[in-house]
Amino acid sequence: MTTSATIWKARLRKLTSFRLLFACAVGAAFGAWALSLFVGPLAKLLFLPLLLVCVWLGVRNDDVVLHCPRCGTRTTPLARTCTACLGQLRP
């Protein structure tokens, strides 16, 4: 598999990750709440755009590795090595 295909496969896997989507939903809810303090109820309309931007940024960030590319084990998002195979996750 080429490097580009490997990167896009990892990004698609992150797009379907519950952990990433839940973290983005919490972040977007907090952002909408913070905006509601300044602009009132109109901030509720900004929840979906904030969620989409957060998911897009999370998927495009290649520092966030959710699964080991060698063995497929779940990892913590900012881990440098896999705990199962001891392989490097990112340079």
State how far the Cα of 24 lies from the Cα of 79, in Å rounded to an integer: 19
State how far the Cα of 31 lies from the Cα of 87, in Å rounded to an integer: 36
Both tokens of residue 17? 């990750």
At residue 91, the pLDDT reads: 62
Residue keyed to tokens 């881990």 = 79
Both tokens of residue 58? 């999370």
Task: Report yes or no: 79 and 66 within 8 Å, Cβ to Cβ.
Answer: no
91 residues of the chain, pLDDT tens digit each: 457 777 777 778 778 778 888 888 999 999 999 988 888 888 888 889 989 998 888 888 777 777 787 887 888 777 788 888 888 877 6
Both tokens of residue 39? 């602009």
Q: Facing residues of 88 across strands?
A: 81
